Each structure stands twice: as C-alpha cells, then as structure tokens.
Structure 1
Amino acid sequence: MLGTAWPAAALIGAAGMAPIVLVCEHASHFIPPEYGALGLEGDALLSHAAWDIGALDVAKCLSTRLDAPLVAGQVSRLVYDCNRPLEAPDCIPARSELIDIPGNAGLSDTQKQQRFDTVHTPFHAVADQAIDRQLARSDAPFLLVTVHSFTPVYHGQRRTLDIGYLHDRNSRAAEAALKIEQELGVFQTAINEPYAARDGVTYSLAKHAESRGLDNVMIEIRNDLIDTPATAETMADHLAKTLKQVMENLTSSEAVKT
C-alpha cells in the first residue's frame, strides 16, 4: 500500500509552547520511489517546481526562535500539493510553469484519490493535532503561519517583491505584519502578492484557521533571498521579530475587546 514506507509530514519542535503553529507544505522535493520520479530527471527534480526552495530552512529557524511547533511536508508537491483540495486542477500538476510532469498526466480519479489519501490526509491530520495541542496549552491569541517561497522570475517576468504577507478572509495578522515591515524599511513587502486567495493558495489557512476563527498569515519569500542555510537564517531572524510584534498586536487587540 502506498504511503506506508514514508511519512507525509514531520512535526518539528513539538515541545514548543508559543500559541503559534508553523506549517510548511512544500518543504520537501522527495518523490517516493514507487512513483518513478514522475518521469523527471536532473535539475527538474530539485527545482522550485518540486518544492519551495529555502522555505524549510526558514521555517525550522522560526520554530526555534518562536518556540513554536512546525508541521513540514515530507513529499514533493508534484506528488500532491498539500495546499490544494482534491478538486483543485493543480493539486497534482501535469505541468509546472515550464516543466512537464509525465507521471502526472492522464491520472484517473482513483489515482488522484489515492495520492490525496496518502499525502494530503495524513499531512493535514498532523497539522490539526498540532493546532489542537497549542490551543490547549494557552488561552492567548493563536496564530497559524504558513511559510512559502516564490521564484525571482516567473514566466519570463522578474519579480521585485521580497516578502508577501497573504491572507484569506481574516487580514489582521497580514496587515499588522505589513505595517511593521514598512516601518522597518528593510525589505520590499506587500499584502497578497505575488499571489492571493483568488489564486487558490490560502487553502491551508482556510482549512485550519478560518474554519476555527483563528488568526493566520501566509508568508511568501523570494527564494534567491533564502537559498542558502545562512541567508535563510538571516531571513528567519528578521521574520521572527516581525511575527513577535504581530503577536503583541493581536494580544493588545484582544485585551481592548475584553
């Protein structure tokens, strides 16, 4: 049976006490051997099509600095994109920007369901459990943070954005983060760039936070800023300071309400 020899998710920093859960859906480029590399070879297997370059390094550093658990995907998004529902046309992409994925072409509904059951379902079960645990540990305002990266060039267009803060319906954390970033003036930042909810990228936020009335934010980082362990750590140091201030703002807002 598929999925028995490899985990869909890893829980890192489970002892963390902060009312925060970090999620990195696209943390790995691992393609289980039973999928035959999906017909890919060479650079394609390590490219941004297969995973979010640098995102795991940033997320792991954030886990340490924030004392927060991290749920990290252990399977390439080319097998199944855990930030997409089964009905999304790109949950198992047959093409990713300029790269064709032969092993994803012409899949039957049964084959798609099997990928969903063996990758998506256990991944999100780990995320649910991590959130339940953190909510039970504290009555402080809670924040779900998903960590992603994006390419400097997309379909031939160069991107100048450094960091994007994305949100689904609840914009409080994203707006607080943007205000903090603008005051610091270190990076070029924006809300809902280079993607937004309309692009289908806030699935995890909606599934785990919006459904519970919890604050949330998705962080998108240009991957040439975090493509080495050292640069990823530097970015994590910056983001940790921003997120701590966001949490202070959320706490202050809750205090005013009461």
Structure 2
Amino acid sequence: MKDESRLPPTPYADAFWTDGETRDNRWLITCDHATNRVPEWVGGGSLGIAPEDMARHIAYDVGAAGVARHLGAAMGATVIGSDFSRLVIDPNRGEDDPTLLMRLYDGTVIPANRDADAAERERRLTALHRPYHAAIEALAGTRPDRAICAIHSFTPQLRGRMARPWEVAVLYSLDDQILSPLLIERCRSHGWVTGDNQPYIGHLAGDSIDRHALSKGRPNVLIEVRNDLIRDDAGQKLWAGRLAMVLDGLLEEAGL
C-alpha cells in the first residue's frame, strides 16, 4: 500500500503565493527563494538537516519575501513568490541544470536529496517547480508591456570565504544591459555599496529571468540585498522603499 502522506496533490496547491493580482503597475515582482518550507510529502516535512541550517541562506533567501511584498505594495505591483525551499527543488534553475536538486550546499549535506532519483526529481518538478513557473508566466502575460523585477538576497559571507561588502547588487545577462547599468548608477548615487554582477554573475541559461524575461523580450532587473540588512520587518520595509525609489521612472528613462 502506498503511503498517502508522501503523495503530492496534483496540482500542488501551495507551490506559490501572490499579492495584489489586480494591481496595475507594469512591473511584476518575483521572489524565487521566498521560503524555507518543506512540504509534508518530502521527507515528512524535513530534508534531514539541522534547523539552524534550514534558517540559513542555503534553504531560502532570508528577508527577500518581505522586501518583495513591501515593494509590491509601495509600487502598486503584483508580487509572486515560491512556497517551497530551494533545497526541495530550486525554482531559479532550469529543469536540466545539475544544481536543480542540491545534494551539498555551502558545506551542508542534504540527506533527503542525497539518494533522490529521477522519479523523485520529476515528482518535485511536477508538483512545485512547473506550477510556480506556469503561474509567473500567466501573470506576466496579462499585459504586453510587462517588466519583471526579481528580488533575491545574499549572505554576508560564505563559509571559508571573504566577507561581502555590497549592500545591494544588480545582476544581469551580458546580452541584456539596458536597465541594469542605469539601476546600478541610481543605487550608487544614493551612496549604497552596489555590486555590478557581484557577488556572482546574474545569468544562467534556463533560470527565471532567462525563462520569463530574456526569452520573451521583457524588460527586467534582478536585485539582491545583503540579508543581514533585511532580517526583520523594519529592514525589509526600509529596503523596499529604497528600491521603489530607484525603480520609479527607470523604464521611462530607458525608453521602454
């Protein structure tokens, strides 16, 4: 007999959440790594790692969901976020990316993923990854002039690595440099220590921006905020307000 607790609903009801679907700003705010939640049908709701690891950046983008929600409210824009941990399956990776289902991340072994086979990978894709991306595309397609702003956060320091000095970073594809340099200039004009495709290059084939913006010709930006600055609601509101300020009029300045 099958263990029904390990069978995901079809379609999975909690693959994503949205805020403000009727808001009329052309920006669509996305948050790929919004939560560290593990569905009950994956390992009984656990990936087998310590709670302190599940609270780290390896499981989700700390503070990013709050920033995205506050930013959407400030700008009058629709927001969508994933409702599953990036360690369950990473929504910011293409289906053929070898890091889609991580077995080791920043020094932590992920026991529930160590022996995950092709069937388990497909199960998580079907229940979580694909519904999330279908929902993004449905929202993006509601208007022809849609622009996408992806909100992420990064850890101040990876284990055994140098500290990261940037407060905020703008990541982008080298094949699409229309909005990002303008946004970097705006951020730096306010005195914020701003990464230009740092702490890492902002484009992977098949990632969310590639899938929903670059391949569709939609204007886009990907913004990362250092997560020690946005661990609480006050920091999230502060940075959401700052980002709303630098995003305001950006599309018009770029002639888009």
TM over 0.5: yes
2:38 to 31, 37, 57: 31
The equivalent of 2:208 in structure 1 is 204
Instruction: State whether structure 2 residue 94 is matched by structure 1 residue 85.
Output: yes
Residue type matched to 1:69 in 2? T
1:95 to 87, 99, 104: 104
Cα deviation code 1:84-105 (max 9, x no counterpart): 0122111111111021110001
- C-alpha separation in 2, matches of 1:210 and 1:229: 32
The equivalent of 2:193 in structure 1 is 188
Residue type matched to 2:227 in 1? N
**Matched position secondary structure for 2:47:** helix
The equivalent of 1:172 in structure 2 is 178
- C-alpha separation in 2, matches of 1:13 and 1:99: 36
Distance apart, 1:171 and its partner CA = 1.6
Q: Is the 8 A contact 1:202 1:218 kept in 2?
A: no
The equivalent of 1:142 in structure 2 is 146
Residue type matched to 1:208 in 2? H
- C-alpha separation in 1, matches of 2:232 and 2:37: 19
Distance apart, 1:201 and its partner CA = 8.1
Cα deviation code 1:186-234 (max 9, x no counterpart): x100221111146x38711110011111111111110001111001100
Q: Is the 8 A contact 1:11 1:126 kept in 2?
A: no
Q: Is the 8 A contact 2:94 2:205 kept in 1?
A: no
CA RMSD of aligned residues (A): 1.6
Q: Which moved more, 1:33-42 or 1:63-72?
A: 33-42
Cα deviation code 1:53-90 (max 9, x no counterpart): 00000000011011111111101111010000122111
Q: Which moved more, 1:5-14 or 1:230-239?
A: 5-14
**Matched position secondary structure for 2:248:** helix
Identity of aligned residues (%): 28
**Matched position secondary structure for 2:94:** coil
Q: Is the 8 A contact 2:36 2:54 kept in 1?
A: yes
- C-alpha separation in 1, matches of 2:13 and 2:142: 24
The residue correspondences of 1:32-181 to structure 2 (distance < 5 A) are 32-36=39-43, 37-135=46-144, 141-156=145-160, 157-168=162-173, 169-181=175-187
The equivalent of 1:15 in structure 2 is 22
**Matched position secondary structure for 1:30:** coil
Residue type matched to 1:123 in 2? Y
The equivalent of 2:225 in structure 1 is 221
- C-alpha separation in 1, matches of 2:154 and 2:171: 13
Distance apart, 1:167 and its partner CA = 1.2
Q: What's the TM-score once normalised by structure 2's chain length?
A: 0.91
- C-alpha separation in 2, matches of 1:179 and 1:47: 30
Q: Is the 8 A contact 2:103 2:113 kept in 1?
A: yes
Tell me, which stretches of 5 or more residues in structure 2 are unaligned?
A: 1-6
Which structure shows the higher helix fraction? 1
Distance apart, 1:245 and its partner CA = 3.2
Residue type matched to 2:212 in 1? H
Residue type matched to 2:146 in 1? F
Instruction: State whether structure 2 residue 250 is matched by structure 1 residue 241.
Output: no
State how many pairs are aligned: 245
- C-alpha separation in 2, matches of 1:174 and 1:90: 26
Tell me, which stretches of 5 or more residues in structure 1 are unaligned?
A: 136-140
